[in-house]
Every structure is written in C-alpha cells, then in structure tokens.
Amino acid sequence: MLTKEQNELVTRTSAGTPMGDLIRRYWIPALMSDEIPTPDCPPAQVKLLGEELVAFRDTNGRIGLLAEHCHHRGTSLFYGRNEECGLRCVYHGWKYDVEGNVLDTPAEPAGSTFKDRMKTTAYPTKEVNGIIFAYMGPQGKIPLFPNYEWAQVAADHCYVTKAYQECNYMQGLEGECDSSHLSWLHRAFTSETDQRLYQTDGAPAYETEETDFGLRLIALRDAGEDQTYVRVSTYLFPCAVAVPVGTKDASGRLDGYEVHTYIPVDDTHSWRFDFGFKRARTVTDKDVHRRQVIGPNFRRIPNAANHYLQDREMQRTKNFTGMVDFLSHDSMATESMGALFDRSQEHLGLSDKAVITVRRHMLDKVKEFQDTGEAPHLVTDPELNVMDHTESTYDVIDGRDWHAHWPHMTSTAQELLSVKDAVPAGR
C-alpha cells in the first residue's frame, strides 16, 4: 500500500506537481501521426498532463504543438485555419507558427509591432514510426530520443494504437508490471500454447533489477521437469513498460515486442499508446487487432458504460472474464478501481512484488528530483544511446538462470557495449 501522501505524489501530474514536472523531462507520446496526416490538414486537439493543446502540420510538413487557447483572448485554435505555414485563430485572425511565434495580428493597426512581443506555448516534437512525441519540460534540458529497437525498424514493421482510459495513468501502468494477472484475468479455457504457459503456474516468482532505463521485471513460472517459463518485461521510466507480445521466429526468438505507454490526459484519464514492431517482416492486420475494438475519438467500443460487453455465458464456458479482447480485460480491471484509486486501501501480497518495486522506484526518483532538480534515466550521451538491453521477451529455459540465457540483458548501455557480441542476430 501507499500512504495517501505517497499516492498523491505519484498520481498527480499537472504542471507544478513533482511527478508532473518530472514526466515533462522525457519525450512522451502525444498523438498518432495519422491524426494530422498531411501538410495543412485540420489540426487535432490533444490534452496531456492536464494541458489543453492543439497539434498541426504546417505547409512544409513541420509539426506544431501549441497551447490550444489563443494567446489573444482564448478561443480554441482547434477551430482555426491551417494555412501558409501557420495556424490562424478564426476569432480575430492571429496566426502562429510551429514555434509559437505570432506571425500576424490583422485586427491591430497597420504597422503595429504588438505581435513581436507575443509568443504562445509551443512544445518540441519528434515523429517516429507513426507516433508524434512531445517534450514538455524546460528548454535547454531536452534529452536525446532513446534509440529503442522499435524506433530503428522501417515504418511498415511498426504499429501503434491509442485508446482512452477512464482512470489515472498509474493504474494502467501498474497492470503492465503485474505478470500474475496473465494467469487469471486473461485466462481462456483452452490449452493452446500461450494459455498453457500462463496456466502452468498461477503464482509466479519475481525478480527485479535496477537498470539505466528503469527496471527489469522478471516473472518465473515453474514449467515442470526443471524448466522455467520466464517472462522479461522492462519498465522504461517514467510511464512505459515493454511486454513480450509476438510469436517465435525460426530461431526460437520472439519476432518483436510491444511497448505500452500510459500518458496522463489529466489526473483521472489517460492515453494508452501501444506500439509494437516486427524485426523481420511487415505488420499485418492481425498484429493491430486492437483497432477493431477502438472507436471514434479513441474510445473503446467495450467500455464501462456498457459493462465492457461482458457475456456471462462466455464467462462460464469460454474465458475468465466473459470479455473478448485483452484490452477490455485490462481496462475493466484498472478502470473499475475508480478514477483515481486510493492505494492506502489495498492489501498487497507476494504476487505484487513487481508493482511494489516500480512504485518504490518512482517514489525514490521523484523525491530525488524534488531534492536535486535532476531527472533520472535520461539519455544524454550519443555514444551510450543504445537500447538493445531494454528487450522484452519470454522463453522456457532449463533451470532458472535467465541471465545466462540472455547475456545482452545488461543493466546499463555501457555494459551492453562490452558484451555486444551477445546481442542476438537480426539487428
């Protein structure tokens, strides 16, 4: 459990809160590329960390992420005109470039220099494989964009979905760190391969280790005959977890994995961005299966208002929840806690070890940030911008020595460079 004060510290993310200011020090997913697909297309509303923003792609293809409300008298720029390298407010015609400069104030007298003293909030962006990332922290502190493996592959090897979650970001994030729920929440009454592995041992043991990107979370299930089913997830500080999703290739290696990121919309809603990749093939509709359950405005079709389309007959005969897809399972489990769960009311067991470790890490890091102003786990040295050690995967191994099985899963990029021959082929 957390005290009420600790719970407040990690869950509140508006500007000026400790956790909110810390999250603003990282590149975070802001919107999907296809929300603003072409130059001069209509802008998109984006709400992040309690801030109402508008995103647009200008005539030259540059992306702007500005305060939504016009610097003049607050009208929403979402209704504005995206024209000739700028977004123009339709109330009195003020026009902004992607850096927030005011290019024109046509309702002011001719020759006015008023606009030269005006600038609206504008955040730097970076577009990578279908996602537009934003940096919302102080200028002069912008970190390098980490060279994650999914960011290195061709765009058609990458896929992304976005879904609106009706709860605080921490609830979704904690679900990703919690391997034991795989054996229960996601249980289907079959013995096909993945389900058989989940069901081999419903009470996994956990190991955790601190790394330069956050934490490595290892769930170990007894698979019989001195074998262990090992799942490695990686907590990428502050808001993302890489999870082993995919199928094995001919060499027995997982063909890619997914990164699930939870970004606060405000303190009681969040965006779930799932991005995945395939090392050696283009993506298929099957990989992006979640799109079938996500409707307009990224609202899930099964949701709290319709009880996630739960089918009680299915629950008796087919699977644990009576809900069809994993996204509904996870959303039901985390949203039904309430919009912002009071963790002083819970009762944690051994199965919660990974969640406890992640919370402890977040609390430690946010306190350090309060004391020193320094954000942890940033990539600032181009020589050390290698991320293959953040890999998420699973395997059934002899014994329990997963370190020996995956020697490239080091704690730091520096160590990874020293064992780089151990990185599996295919990069």
Contact residues: Fe ion, CB under 5 A: 330
Using the rule CB under 6 A, give the single segment among 87-95, 252-260, 273-281, 407-415 that binds ligand FES. Answer: 87-95
- Cβ at position 304, least distance to Fe ion in Å: 17
Give the CA angle between residues 227, 228, 233 to the nearest 5°.
160
Q: Under the criterion CB under 6 A, does residue 253 sit at the interface with ligand FES? A: no
- Please tell me the count of residues contacting ligand FES according to CB under 6 A: 10
Site string for ligand FES, 30-69 (x = CB under 6 A): ----------------------------------------
Dist CA 175 CA 377 (whole Å):
22
Nearer to ligand FES, 109 or 252 (CB): 109
- Cβ at position 30, least distance to ligand FES in Å: 23
Dist CA 165 CA 156 (whole Å):
27
Q: Quick one: what does residue 50 bind among ligand FES, Fe ion, none, with the CB cut-off 5 to 8 Å set by partner type?
A: none
Contact residue for ligand FES among 70, 102, 158, 263 (CB under 6 A): 70
Nearer to ligand FES, 93 or 424 (CB): 93
Q: Which two tokens stand for residue 277?
A: 């990749």
Nearer to ligand FES, 14 or 75 (CB): 75
Q: Quick one: what does residue 89 bind among ligand FES, Fe ion, none, with the CB cut-off 5 to 8 Å set by partner type?
A: ligand FES
Q: Quick one: what does residue 330 bind among ligand FES, Fe ion, none, with the CB cut-off 5 to 8 Å set by partner type?
A: Fe ion
- Cβ at position 118, least distance to ligand FES in Å: 11
Tell me the residue nearest to Fe ion as measured from the CB.
330
Give the CA angle between residues 403, 407, 412 to the nearest 5°.
95
- Cβ at position 219, least distance to Fe ion in Å: 12
Q: Quick one: what does residue 47 bind among Fe ion, ligand FES, none, with the CB cut-off 5 to 8 Å set by partner type?
A: none
Site string for ligand FES, 90-119 (x = CB under 6 A): -xxxx-------------------------
Task: Please give the residue ranges that form the binding site for ligand FES (CB under 6 A).
Answer: 70, 72-75, 89, 91-94
